[in-house]
Every structure is written in C-alpha cells, then in structure tokens.
Amino acid sequence: MIVAFDFDGTLSRDEMTTFLAEKCGVVEKMDAITERAMNGEIEYAQSLRERCALLEGLDDEEAEDAFSQVHLRPGAADVIATLNDAGVQTAILTGGFERGVGAALDDAGITVDRIVANRLPVKKGQLTGDVEGPLIEGTKDDALADLAGDVGVPMDSTVAVGDGANDLPMLEVAGLAVGFDPKPAVEPACDVVVESMDELRDVLVAEGVL
C-alpha cells in the first residue's frame, strides 16, 4: 500500500512560494499566479516558471530562512507516523521545493519513504529565477505510477491525497482519491473529501489502509 500526499495546501497550510515572495516583495504577484494555477486557469508548468522568475536574485541565505518557516499542519506528522508504523509506503509528490519539504519534516521529526519535488538553482549565492525537477512538465500520475512500480504495488492499492489542480492527475489514477479541502475544480475527481487530519485518519481506517 502507498499513500502519496501533496504538500502545499495538504500536508502544510503554508505556501512556501509565499514565504520566498515575502523576501522579494512580490507576494501579491506570486499569490495571483498561484491562485490561477490551483483553479486550473493556467498550466501548472507555466505558473511555476512565472513564480520562480519573480525570485531571481534572492540571496540563498534569505531563501533558507524562508524555507525554515514551512511547517506541517496540525495532525499531519501523527498521520504519517501511524502510516510508517503500519508499514505503509509514504510519499510526498509536490511541485514545491525539496528544501521546504525537508525543513518541515525535520521540524516535525518525521520522515517519508519518498519525496518527489522540484529545486531552485543557486548561482553565486543567489537564486537564478529558474526551476528544475521532475514535477515541472512531469505530472503526479506518472510519479505515482513510477513509485508503485518501484515498490511492486498495484495502482489500485495506492491512495492519493491532494487539494489543487496539479493533484488531479494522481487523484484520477489512484485506487483511492482523497480531497483535502479541495478546490472546486478538483472535488469531482475525489472519492472522498476531508477537512482535517483527524478526518483523513478516519478515512484511512475505514478503507483498511490503517
């Protein structure tokens, strides 16, 4: 069994790009692009590149401070720990950034089996404004299928948990699609909708995952 989580808006209430944008004074521009992407109004890859371009020239030390502000939402670490203890493969599939995910997991004292995320290149101590990684053009359905293949789990034994438009591909192919307070465009693709980590745990118990 695999449970794959989105990060921003799902495991975390934070948008790590917003913390980065605060360092550059471009919060309103960043939030406008993020909202359009999560509602499916523009392609995710385009939105990600536009957001990262706003960060060009940010000192990497400032970026590191921004990532340190990223935290898991209440109850998330407990759900992940319970899944880990039960022998369930846990994964985070996010168009966000490895360093922000890592900072939040370290802060919570928790680990997952796999993180698939993007990266912000640094040159001469500053962000270049570019973005690299598997989830720019790549989509979360392929990432979930690759993970399932690696661990020898059939797709009908996978659970996907997400909230935004870029989560739709993995929600549509997973054995169980869980919307975590999903956007209106995402809810129709969900088998079940939850609004808290306690509700998510109850669903995982009811579905025999835990």
The catalytic residue positions are 6, 8
Contacts 24+ apart (CB under 8 A), 151-157: 151/2, 151/89, 153/1, 153/2, 153/89, 157/1, 157/2
Neighbouring residues of 31: CB distance < 8 A, sequence distance ≥ 6: 15, 18, 21
Say how far apart CA 123 and CA 121 lie, in whole Å. 7
3-class SS of residue 181: coil
CA distances to 5, 73, 115, 165, 196 from 12, rounded to whole Å, are: 10, 5, 15, 16, 11
Angle (CA) 28 31 36, round 5°:
125
CA distances to 52, 102, 107, 121, 155 from 23, rounded to whole Å, are: 13, 20, 21, 17, 41
Question: 207: which 2 tokens?
Answer: 């579905």
